[in-house]
Amino acid sequence: MDGPRADAEQLALAAKAGDRAALSALHPLVAPALVAWARLRVRARLRVHLDPDDLVQDVWVRAMGVIASFAPENCTFRAWLFRVAKNVLLEAQRAAHRGVPGSGDTSLVGRLHAIPADVTSVTQRVSRDEGVQTFLAEVEKLDPTDRRLVVHCGLEEMTQVEVATMLGIDYEALAKRWQRLRAKLATWGAAAGLA
Query: Measured between alpha carbons, how far is 192 from 116 in angstroms, rounded to an integer?
Result: 28
The pLDDT value recorded for residue 49 is: 83
Residue 13: burial class (beta carbons within 10 Å; 0-12, 13-18, 19+): middle
CA distances from 150 to 20, 89, 178, 195 (A): 31, 18, 8, 7
Query: Measured between alpha carbons, how far is 184 from 176 in angstroms, rounded to an integer?
Result: 13
What would the DSSP string read from start to end of 56-81?
A: HHHHHHHHHHTGGG--TTTS-HHHHH
User: Whole-model pTM above 0.85?
Assistant: no
The pLDDT value recorded for residue 120 is: 64
Query: Measured between alpha carbons, how far is 155 from 59 in angstroms, rounded to an integer?
Result: 15
Query: Measured between alpha carbons, how far is 69 from 15 in angstroms, rounded to an integer?
Result: 11
What would the DSSP string read from start to end of 96-155?
A: HHHT-TTGGGTTHHHHGGGS-HHHHHHHHHHHH-HHHHHHHHHHHTS-HHHHHHIIIIII
Query: Measured between alpha carbons, how far is 135 from 148 in angstroms, rounded to an integer?
Result: 14
pLDDT tens, the chain, 195 aa long: 566 677 889 999 999 999 988 988 898 888 899 999 999 999 888 888 888 988 998 999 999 999 999 999 999 999 999 999 999 999 988 887 777 554 444 444 444 455 555 666 777 777 788 888 889 999 999 999 999 999 999 999 999 999 999 999 999 999 999 999 999 888 876 555 577
Query: Measured between alpha carbons, how far is 102 from 85 in angstroms, rounded to an integer?
Result: 19
DSSP state of 9: H
Q: Which of 116, 96, 115 is nearest to 106 (CA)?
A: 96
In residues, how long is the chain?
195
The pLDDT value recorded for residue 124 is: 75
DSSP state of 156: S
The pLDDT value recorded for residue 107 is: 47
The pLDDT value recorded for residue 105 is: 45
